């Protein structure tokens, strides 16, 4: 086992010649690994299976992502995870072949909150609420249940509120390889800073939710009518109940 990769009890040994492969030469094996698993794989897991260090696997992933550009597949990378998926431009043929269930859609409130998290991550619930001007607890909870955002840490302030960031599934929904590929804000438009926030600009248009993103196994944004994400007339921030919750962090 190469230094830097964790030990796994695998039935097939790594061929001796793999230890001498360059990252470019290792990239086909990484592609085969991602294709066969058909799910997100961590760098640590890939390193263990390939018998190489995480640094070498990262370099192989960079090469693989570059070689796939211009084709029908792309390698998504986010917070130490990799996944091989189809590009949005060719999603139509996957949908014709698999005929997947039509995915649900996000409400404007959810899109606004998701845009805030995407462009300002990591940030707390209180920060998102200060930008939007309404309670975001229910929307953040729903986005987290759908796997579009996740807790990425705790803020070093009293109470240690949760910090939210986007996930690999978010990249699948918007059809990007990396979070760094988010479209830049139009000239003259900036995400408000804290404190003394002005009205938040119309950011949802900057994040194009592709509607029916797919990996090789089908849609990655499943319909869930019980969450009411298609209700554009619902209160955009407040959770159900006779009165809105306090906007303070839990």
- Residue 3 inside a domain? The answer is no
Tell me the C-alpha distance between 188 and 20, whole Å: 50
Q: Is the peptide bond before 27 cis (omega within 30 degrees of 0)?
A: no
Q: Is residue 8 part of a domain?
A: no
Nearest to 98 by CA among 80, 108, 106, 86: 86
Strand, helix or coil at 175?
coil
* pLDDT tens sequence across 20-54: 999 999 999 999 999 999 899 999 999 999 999 99
> Would 94 be classed as within a structural domain?
no
What pLDDT score was predicted for residue 227? Answer: 40
Q: How many domains does the chain have?
A: 2
Q: Verify that 215 and 119 share a domain, yes or no.
A: yes
Q: What is the DSSP string of 69-107?
A: TTSSEEEEEETTEEEEEE-GGGHHHHHHHH-PPPPP---
118 and 62 assigned to the same domain: no
CATH code for the domain in which residue 196 is found: 1.10.10.10
Residue 234, domain member (yes or no):
no
For residue 69, what are the contacts with CB-CB under 8 A and spacing of at least 6? none
The domain in which residue 154 lies consists of 108-227
Report the predicted TM-score, pTM, of the whole model to 2 decimal places.
0.64
Residue 93 lies in a domain: no
Pair (61, 112) in one structural domain: no
Residues 115 and 63 in one domain: no
Report pLDDT digits (tens) over 83-128. Answer: 999 999 998 998 899 887 666 788 899 999 999 999 999 999 999 9
Q: Which of 98, 21, 28, 89 is nearest to 53 (CA)?
A: 21
């Amino acid at each position: 086992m190469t230094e830097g990769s964790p030990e796994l009890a695998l039935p097939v040994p790594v061929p001796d010649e793999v230890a001498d492969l360059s990252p470019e030469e290792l990239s086909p094996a990484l592609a085969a690994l991602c294709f066969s698993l058909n799910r997100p794989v961590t760098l640590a897991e890939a390193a263990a299976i390939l018998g190489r260090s995480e640094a070498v696997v990262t370099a192989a992933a960079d090469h693989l992502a570059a070689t796939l550009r211009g084709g029908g597949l792309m390698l998504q990378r986010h917070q130490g995870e990799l996944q091989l998926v189809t590009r949005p431009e060719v999603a139509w043929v996957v949908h014709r072949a698999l005929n997947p269930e039509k995915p649900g859609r996000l409400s404007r409130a959810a899109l606004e909150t998701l845009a805030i998290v995407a462009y300002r991550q990591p940030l707390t619930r209180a920060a998102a609420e200060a930008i939007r001007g309404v309670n975001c607890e229910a929307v953040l909870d729903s986005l987290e249940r759908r796997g579009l955002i996740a807790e990425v840490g705790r803020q070093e302030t009293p109470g240690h509120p949760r910090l939210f960031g986007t996930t690999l599934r978010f990249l699948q929904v918007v059809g990007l390889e990396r979070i760094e590929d988010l479209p830049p804000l139009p000239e003259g438009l900036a995400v408000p800073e804290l404190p003394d926030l002005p009205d938040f600009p119309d950011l949802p248009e900057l994040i194009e939710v592709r509607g029916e993103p797919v990996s090789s196994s089908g849609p990655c944004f499943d319909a869930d009518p019980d969450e009411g994400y298609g209700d554009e007339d619902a209160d955009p921030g407040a959770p159900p109940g006779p009165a809105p919750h306090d906007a303070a962090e839990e």
